[in-house]
């Protein structure tokens, strides 16, 4: 099964297919995906230490983004259901989310489940 071209374009636009693109296609793209948010004020940082120092009384949580549209979600299961529902059934989306939560990146997870 292949993902439809619009989903592939969204995944590429968010930098998840960066390894498969040429240098000219990846030039100028942001590669950071995981952001840390301060639970107190909501400010986001690319480093967990910065988020923890923002409001030390509260604990920071990692943000998980949809691999297609980059919308922020509370966990990989929500993120995988955001746009991937259009091409993948629930069991495949859950498998992808489990792989992502185990520490793999989105493209690796999607390739493992779809191919």
pLDDT digits (tens, 9 = 90+) for 43-99: 877 777 787 777 755 334 567 889 999 899 989 999 999 999 888 999 999 999 999
Domain assignment present for residue 14? The answer is yes
pTM tops 0.75? no
pLDDT class for 15, splitting at 50, 70, 90?
Answer: low
Domain assignment present for residue 44? The answer is no
Encoded tokens for 38: 């301060």
Domain assignment present for residue 94? The answer is yes
Q: Where are the beta strands (DSSP E) in the chain?
A: 35-37, 44-45, 61-65, 72-73
Domain encompassing residue 77: 5-31+66-114
Domain assignment present for residue 92? The answer is yes
Domain assignment present for residue 108? The answer is yes
Domain assignment present for residue 23? The answer is yes
How many structural domains does the chain have? 1
């Amino acid at each position: 099964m292949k993902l439809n071209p619009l989903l592939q374009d969204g995944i590429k636009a968010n930098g998840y297919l960066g390894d498969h693109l040429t240098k000219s296609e990846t030039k100028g793209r942001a590669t950071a995906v995981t952001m840390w948010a301060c639970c107190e004020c909501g400010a986001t940082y690319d480093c967990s230490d910065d988020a923890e120092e923002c409001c030390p009384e509260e604990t920071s949580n990692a943000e998980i983004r949809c691999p297609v549209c980059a919308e922020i979600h509370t966990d990989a299961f929500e993120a995988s259901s955001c746009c991937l529902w259009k091409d993948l059934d629930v069991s495949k989306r859950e498998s992808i989310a489990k792989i992502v939560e185990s520490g793999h990146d989105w493209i690796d997870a999607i390739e493992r489940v779809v191919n």
